[in-house]
Structure 1
Amino acid sequence: MIQFVQAAHIASGSIRSAKLRSALTTLGIVIGVAAVIINASLGASFNQFFTDEVSSVGSNFIIAYSDQPNLFYDSELEIIKNTPGILGVSPRKTVSGEINYLSDVKSVSIVGVNGDFQEIQGIKMEEGSFLTDKDIYSAVLGYDLAKEEFGRSISHRSSVDIAFRQEDGTLVIKKFKVKGILEDSKETIVGGDGSTDMIVYIPISTMNEMTGEKDYGAFFAMAESSENIGSISKDVDKRLARSFGISERDLNNEDAKPYTVFDQADVLEETGALGKALSTFLLVLALISLFVGSIGIMNIMLVTVTERTREIGIMKSVGYSSSNILSLFLLESIMVSSLGGLLGTAIGGFGAYILEEALKLPPVFPFKLIEIGILISVLVGVGAGLYPARKAANMNPVDALRYE
């Protein structure tokens, strides 16, 4: 059996004798492996991005909402609050209104909540503090609204006028003390208030007093743990259904219920499926380019076999067996693809980092991808080189020596 070192020396000599052709062949694998690394890394980054976005809405949250008005009241608030495993619950209601500061009026979304809302949604403060259940005419402003929308920056000690228009057209205006300014935020892909930079939070009891209403738009609750959030969410759903006279057999029928309950685990499952689909799509695209690269190797190796027909005949005439010839050409194919795999892995890792920075994705690079990239390149080398190598090994030495 031909020695591995000798075989490697012969194979590397063949590669060096046709540098341009070998470089172009390697380039196909470099591009294919780099594409696999980049797309797999991007898939992992998108998954982490979706997870971070869901977590930014709050910790262990459960949300009950309805598109129907006059559905949720204090009785439903108490039902959720008294559900075992619920650590806190806040009503949430959004109404369009106006805020007046130094005679400058802005139309904004005003959200009514209670003191539990900050912890449930993980709200962070730039200045001052968030609302408590004891506050009446207090307001918390989004960062951009307080710092950029008016001629002068609003501090957490300022006062503003907030106006609502009731259904009968009556304009109700009250003076509010600015209790806090929210930390600069960003848009999110999931529920909640999205970007809070242009939001005004006020006590929901004060909002209902000014608008002449008594209902709530939704409830944000916090479960005691992520492990039990599914069962706690189902218990909330069951208790609300009972209060609305809905039977347990209709709990899973969304059309039978005037409201919807979902939790953090549900959102993570949905975004996880989205992330997996995106990762699969990206990986398929990358594998197509890798397949094209492997065809390139096979074509080049077939050309090499044809060009070296007389050499194969000489090798066989001096004692090289068919298995020796097979090993030589297969090793040459593996060396070309492995070199491309190493370069492709390095370029793919760097490219993934650049793209993640450009897309503002969390930098996630599974280091297993390095092993996978090298393994793929070796497998491509074996797969693409096997047929040409067998063709060379099966040549008749007499016919090979006569080949012109």
Structure 2
Amino acid sequence: MLVSRRSRVATLAACATLLLATSACGEDKAEEGSAQQVRLYGTDGNMLNSYPAELKERADLVDGMKGTTPLTPLPDDFKSRLRSVNPALTDFLYSAETYDAVVIAALAAQLAGSTDPAAIAKQIVGVTNNGQRCEDPASCLTLARAGQDIEYRSVSLTRAGFTDKGEPATASYATLTFDGQQINDGKTEFVGAGAESAASTKAPPKARKARPGGADDDQKPLIIGGLLPKTGDLALAYPPMAAGAALAIKEINAAGGALGKPVTWMDGDDGTSPAVAKATVARHTAEGVSVIIGAGASGISREVLPDVVKAGKILFSPSNTDASLTDVEDNGLYFRTAPPDSLQGRALADVILRDGSQKIVIVARKDSYGEGLQATVRGELEKAGIAGDRLKLLTYEPPPDPDSPPVDFTSGAKEIKEFGADAVLIIGFGESAQVIRALADSGVQIRH
């Protein structure tokens, strides 16, 4: 269900007040002398149906784990279309954001009348604001070919368009719960965030009307390259993102493509690794890619962005949430359809406080995504009245490559046990399952 911002804030404030006056705000409370119990919380990097498999024979440890992720209620029709390109799809995280990033890039190229990245970049924000509203590739491309300004709305972009910084002005977050080693859709709640007034009001350059017949023989076909996590710590999120990209390309080309020619998708892996991602960017640059969709992780985008900017290409991520990327130096070539973590931090704090947590540990992978969201959530909890001595921050080094040993969080689990935490927020990707395993091995009882 959709929860209003006002009621959500009221709940958070009331819960925080009771938390300071009593021992709990939720219904459940560990009895005196009982084994230490903790509630587990996650984020967009690990709240996926594929995550429990990271724990193998101990997959049931995730049951009861709650978390948030940027997610709009997806229409059944969209899910069916995604399954038409991947019948085995079980997760939908960032599928809509990937779909929209590809469609927006193609529409911007059509409006620019060019595959030149600089010209496309100048149209991207405008595609989402202040024109004639359209909601699918076919109708939007028809308007764009006629030289009409458009306002694209679709599965992830529903309430407002992009800000001047090239990111969503508004967002929708889902509160997810693991039950029976999978996300229980029946317990999912949605909450809106952001402000429509933050959307850009700047007019884009005048759209170039398509030539009669549609094809522009002066232009090369638009090539869009993938920089998505096929391998590495974030590989569990790859299937829905890949499906979103494939569906977008399929529907764009079914509607006649961009500039009168089919749009080409060039696959590419970011490996959740700077080295792998940089190699992919270099290959895309050499092969004439105009727009690169990715990277999956915020830290990887930060690492490759200088290379992308130097090459004069566009980096358009469907899943980067690091708030500091809003003001990154990008020469106007970086965009994202995922909302910044400044919005997700509030939603996470709300979820944790509603359960009456008293002593909270925030564990994060040591990169810009993990530490950035960790700091944001900490700030939101402190604003709600949680004292500093009731909070503890821990980080871990993510494995540098898939062949590296798994995360060893033994010492961190010991610290959590000694701290007496009753809530542990885990900010990470697939590798973060080792944090849960270490907690259980240390004797901490996970509350289901």
TM-score by length of 1: 0.26
TM-score, structure 2 as length reference? 0.24
> Which structure has the higher relative contact order (CA within 8 Å, separation 6+)?
1
Higher helix share: 1
